[in-house]
């Protein structure tokens, strides 16, 4: 091969530069100090950014829990078999809203007969109850041998569960102004007597009559009265988790609660009702 066609590689010539003045070993160079300052600045910036992100997440979570959706647990048998003890619900707190100008831009709904609602218990508002709406404002309601009549028309209730024959005068033939019942609120007993006409209970405006689906084992409006509109929190959407009745009464101590939680976490596959988890509520 002709040597003239080979690429010419020139050797790299050393570059001679003036010597830099010596600096003490203990003093960092200007570039090192600048680099350290940049690292510190980046760390501080990242920390602030992370805190801002965390605070934003917390604010969103608080907003969602306060105004949109909240988790509740079913503690009693009053809504069986629709809801069981150990069902954990996500409740839509925005569905009913207010019937003002906002109803034109938000998907608000009216409370309907048959809706399952979560509400502040009128006798003790710190407690939350879940029941089904049976009587609407203005309705005339009565029970005859456990059968609900609204404005003289029998109500079809495929969701109701009965455990006993109709053998309780107050519970099964409501309203009764001559026969009190065990567990009856005294204030409600006096109020109810003023609202009965022709053997029917008249539901006042702004109030709702609610009952449990487990009719023979439910402390509901028959025993303590109406639910005011402002007490209603929302409507359950879905059972996001359902757990078997494995230990309803853990020890009331820090150690007892920790043991309770540890057992649940270590036996989650055994105690979960998988057939009910993620089931819609209706």
Average pLDDT of the residues in 220-233: 97
Long-range contacts of residues 194-202, Cβ cutoff 8 Å, at least 24 apart: 197/140, 198/140, 199/142, 199/175, 200/140, 200/141, 200/142, 200/149, 200/175, 201/135, 201/140, 201/141, 201/142, 201/174, 201/175, 202/138, 202/139, 202/140
Q: Would you call 131 a catalytic residue per the annotation?
A: yes
Q: Who's near 61: CB < 8 A, 6+ residues apart?
A: none
Catalytic residue among 10, 26, 29, 78: 78
Average pLDDT of the residues in 70-93: 93
Structure tokens at 108: 């608000």
Q: How confident is residue 265, by pLDDT bands cut at 50, 70 and 90?
A: confident
The region of weakest confidence among 129-133, 145-149, 207-211, 246-250 is 246-250
Contact 72, 82 (CB under 8 A): no
Average pLDDT of the residues in 19-43: 52
241, containing H or E segment = strand 232-242
pLDDT at residue 77, as a whole number: 94
Q: b or e along 93-109 (b: 16 or more beta carbons within 10 Å of the residue's beta carbon)?
A: bbbbeeeeeeeeeeeee
Average pLDDT of the residues in 214-228: 97
pLDDT at residue 246, as a whole number: 60
Average pLDDT of the residues in 28-51: 60
Taking only the tens place, the pLDDT of each residue in 188-200 is 999 999 999 999 9
Q: Would you call 53 a catalytic residue per the annotation?
A: no
pTM: 0.73
Average pLDDT of the residues in 22-39: 52
pLDDT at 51 over 60: yes
Looking at per-residue confidence, does 166 or 224 come out higher? 224
pLDDT at 268 over 60: yes
Distance (Å, rounded) from C-alpha 131 to C-alpha 70?
A: 17
Rounded to a whole number of angstroms, the distance between the first and last alpha carbons of the chain is: 90
Average pLDDT of the residues in 111-134: 97
* Pick from 74, 73, 111: nearest CA to 214: 74
Catalytic residue among 3, 44, 50, 131: 131
Would you say the C-alpha torsion 11, 12, 18, 21 has a positive or negative sign? negative
pLDDT at 209 over 50: yes
pLDDT at 33 over 60: no
pLDDT at residue 267, as a whole number: 84
pLDDT at 212 over 50: yes
pLDDT at 133 over 70: yes
Highest mean pLDDT among 97-101, 175-179, 260-264: 175-179
* Pick from 187, 166, 168, 194: nearest CA to 179: 168
pLDDT at 18 over 60: no
pLDDT at residue 37, as a whole number: 58
Q: How confident is residue 263, by pLDDT bands cut at 50, 70 and 90?
A: confident
pLDDT at 138 over 60: yes
Average pLDDT of the residues in 72-83: 93
State the maximum Cα–Cα separation within the chain, in Å, rounded to a whole number. Answer: 126
Taking only the tens place, the pLDDT of each residue in 93-121 is 988 975 444 454 556 789 999 999 999 99
């Amino acid at each position: 091969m002709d040597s003239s066609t080979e690429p010419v590689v020139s050797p790299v010539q050393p570059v001679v530069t003036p010597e830099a003045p010596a600096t003490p070993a203990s003093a960092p160079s200007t570039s090192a100090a600048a680099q350290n300052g940049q690292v510190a600045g980046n760390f501080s910036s990242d920390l602030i950014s992370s805190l801002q992100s965390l605070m934003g997440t917390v604010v969103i979570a608080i907003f969602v829990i306060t105004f949109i959706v909240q988790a509740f647990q079913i503690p009693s048998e009053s809504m069986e078999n629709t809801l069981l003890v150990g069902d954990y619900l996500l409740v839509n707190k925005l569905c009913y809203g207010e019937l003002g100008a906002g109803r034109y831009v938000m998907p608000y709904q009216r409370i309907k007969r048959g809706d399952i609602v979560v509400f502040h218990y009128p006798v003790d508002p710190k407690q939350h109850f879940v029941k089904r709406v049976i009587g609407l404002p203005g309705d005339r309601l009565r029970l005859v041998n456990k059968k609900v009549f609204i404005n003289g028309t029998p109500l079809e209730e495929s969701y109701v569960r009965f455990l006993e024959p109709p053998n309780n005068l107050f519970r099964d033939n409501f309203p009764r102004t001559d026969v009190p019942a065990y567990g009856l609120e005294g204030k409600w007993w006096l109020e109810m007597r003023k609202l009965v006409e022709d053997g029917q209970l008249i539901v006042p405006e702004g109030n709702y009559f609610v009952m449990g689906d487990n009719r023979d084992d439910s402390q509901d409006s028959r025993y303590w009265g109406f639910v005011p509109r402002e007490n209603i929190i929302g409507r359950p959407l879905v059972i996001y988790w359902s757990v078997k009745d494995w230990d309803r009464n853990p020890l009331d101590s820090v150690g007892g609660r920790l043991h309770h939680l540890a057992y649940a976490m270590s036996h989650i596959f055994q105690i979960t009702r998988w057939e009910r988890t993620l089931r819609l509520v209706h």
